[in-house]
Structure 1
Amino acid sequence: MKKLIIYILLITTGYGFAQELNLPVWTQYLADNNFVLSPTFAGIGDNVRIRINGLTQWVGIKDAPDNQSLYVDGRISNRSGAGLSLYNDRNGNTRQQGIKASFSHHIILDYTSRQYLSFGISYNLNSFRVDVENFEPTYDIPIIDPNIDGDRAISNNNFDLGVLYRNKGFYFSFNVNNILDKEIDNFTGIEPNLLRNYQIYTGYIMQSKSNKRVEFEPSVFYQLFSSDNRSSTDLNFKYRKYNRNEDYYWIGVSYRFLNDQFFNPLNIGPMAGIMKSKFYFAYSYQITINDLAGYNSGTHMITIGFDFLQGISDCPCTEGRYH
């Protein structure tokens, strides 16, 4: 049991560093909300979109990571879009809140073959805090260090840059998050100053030959962290079916693994969602595949959304349904 507790602490500490490196990315983007990953997707579509996510990791383990987030994006002209992201993340006695303001611009590469190129930028403001007031004595540490007091909080600013290429149902997105290095005090402790990470998201939306209202969407999400060259990949597949009113439902599955451990996945699980009269709901369940599997019931995520203020664009680079 003692080894298990140490293992949990190590993972939690690693997740704490990851929190400071980037917004937590699980399967939020698969809930028909690619804007989670990149500012380049802002404004693509005929509506202003609101998506609210609630995610609880490792249900059954005390003080496990918990995250809530809000995403809003829409078109602000025929060829441009804007978006806003807010999130709150809790992991034991650590707290992180953040906001992203994003802008995107879309251009036509070739009108006939429907090839488009998009550029995006986000400004990020993040705050990180340790709830030292919740520290309690333990058997091994019977007295709390009196030097640990006051408000243990810090804020930082950064930027994300992205580019997106689309050709009919094919899409390829490349994003660089946290392009600025972090300023740190070398005398206060060891922490990563390279917050930069790289993300690739690509996939293809295929229409069924037997039923034009049915779509298949395989996709891949890859992320690489500069701080320690750690990288992971998501392999995803979705089935989507529309009705005559453009309402739809979808089901899918995601498989996440470290790139040096393909057959030892971090998480794997099903997901499903529905759009009805511009109201959106999705649920995702991720099974934990490691030594913690026997102590929790997995990771659960719920997404609720609304689409409103429909407006048809004069530019095909932003019009039409796109997920």
Structure 2
Amino acid sequence: MELFYVRFYVLLLLLFSLKGISQETLPIYQDYLSDNVYLLHPSAAGIGNTSKLRFTSRQQWAGIPDAPSLQTLSFHSRFGEYSNGAYGLVLFNDKNGFHSQKGFQGSYAYHLPMSDGKIFNQLSFGLAFTLVQNQSDQRSFTGDAAVSSIIESTSYYNSDFSVAYHLRGLSSYFTIKNLLLTPKNNLNLQEPLDLRNYIVSLGYYFDKNRFGQDLFVQFEPSIMLQFKQGTGERVADFNLKAYKDFYKTQLWAAISYRRNFDVNAIENAQYLTPIIGINYKNLMFSYTYTNQMNETVLTNSGFHQISLGINLWTREPRAAGSPNLNQLWF
């Protein structure tokens, strides 16, 4: 019984203090900084010089029963070496207390070169379609005859539209997520139907010769802004990422500060997320730790995530651009 109350308390806390995150079709964390911009913006599918296979596993509040967890498996690639068209696939499993959702996302992107190839100048468009199955596990609910000890499930679908523009070290994305005004979860009639989320990402990569001299490290400041139409909530990420190249190896680290701006919140959430990673030949590994900085938190254990990746069919870079566009090539 004590375990039941702990689970119930965690569920209530998630619904009220993290409502903005839980309303996403695919929750938005700092995965995109682990060389996985495609999880956030469909227009990033096949955008670089390699095909990318990525796996992420995230666990919140270690040691707390039924704490949120998320696993994703994604792949995106050009249709061919000289094709402007690209595709992407995402499988995800998002569990939050008694509620979970499993989904599949397929996307198509088209990349339009805007120069002769001497510099990276490209306009990209992307469209994604998502199918999600929601589940509510009531088998552990006891003591109420009105609640059936079953797993209830329902499905829904949605779509995203995305556009991107890159010029040398500049990267910019705009994405509208959840275009269709369909219910996220028919098991909860109180949940808003409008789940549209407008996302803007801007970044600039300073390579080793950007200032006319060799830099010891390369760095990339960026910002990501979200506006959730249904709740009016605003979210801002302020990021800084640094790279250091060695023979066949690239070490990198990032720091991200996230702040929620919700007029209805008693205390707006703040998160600090350091990330470390390594790219060796065509392999990638990163570790992410997120610490909530508010005065009132459930636990100090933080959120942990690992990302594993492999680059396939890597081609020689055609023009200068950020590491997200041009992976190491040997």
- In which range does the TM-score fall when normalised by the shorter chain? 0.7 to 0.9
Residues 214, 241 of structure 1: 8 Å contact kept: yes
Distance in 2 separating the partners of 1:161 and 1:226: 15
Residue of structure 2 in register with 1:201 after alignment: 201
Identity %: 29
Considering only aligned residues, what root-mean-square deviation do their CA atoms show, in Å?
3.1
Q: Which moved more, 1:196-205 or 1:251-260?
A: 251-260
Q: Which moved more, 1:200-209 or 1:171-180?
A: 200-209
1:269 Cα offset (Å): 2.6
1:208 Cα offset (Å): 3.1
Distance in 2 separating the partners of 1:55 and 1:278: 23
Residue of structure 1 in register with 2:13 after alignment: 11
Residues 104, 120 of structure 1: 8 Å contact kept: yes
Structure 1 residue 272 corresponds to structure 2 residue 276: yes
Distance in 2 separating the partners of 1:264 and 1:92: 22
1:115 Cα offset (Å): 2.2
- Compared with structure 1, are the counterparts of its residues 98 and 184 closer, same or farther at alpha carbon in structure 2 (3 Å cutoff)? closer
Equivalent AA in structure 2 for residue 83 of structure 1: G
Unmatched 5+ stretches in structure 1? 137-142
If asked which structure has higher relative contact order (CA below 8 Å, sep 6+), I would say 1
Equivalent AA in structure 2 for residue 249 of structure 1: L
Distance in 1 separating the partners of 2:284 and 2:46: 18
Distance in 1 separating the partners of 2:19 and 2:297: 20
- Compared with structure 1, are the counterparts of its residues 320 and 64 closer, same or farther at alpha carbon in structure 2 (3 Å cutoff)? closer
Distance in 1 separating the partners of 2:188 and 2:285: 45
Residue of structure 1 aligned with 2:105, choices 100, 103, 112:
100
Counting matched residue pairs gives 312
Distance in 2 separating the partners of 1:183 and 1:259: 24
Structure 1 residue 303 corresponds to structure 2 residue 307: yes
Structure 1 residue 117 corresponds to structure 2 residue 126: no
Residue of structure 1 in register with 2:257 after alignment: 255
Residue of structure 2 in register with 1:168 after alignment: 168
Structure 1 residue 66 corresponds to structure 2 residue 72: no
Residue of structure 2 aligned with 1:216, choices 195, 200, 219:
219
Distance in 2 separating the partners of 1:100 and 1:236: 26
1:61 Cα offset (Å): 2.2
1:233 Cα offset (Å): 0.7
Q: TM-score, normalised by structure 1?
A: 0.86
Residues 55, 67 of structure 1: 8 Å contact kept: yes
Structure 1 residue 231 corresponds to structure 2 residue 237: no
Structure 1 residue 129 corresponds to structure 2 residue 144: no
Residue of structure 2 in register with 1:140 after alignment: none
Residue of structure 2 in register with 1:289 after alignment: 293
- Compared with structure 1, are the counterparts of its residues 265 and 273 closer, same or farther at alpha carbon in structure 2 (3 Å cutoff)? same
Distance in 2 separating the partners of 1:223 and 1:202: 12
1:212 Cα offset (Å): 6.0
Distance in 2 separating the partners of 1:235 and 1:211: 26
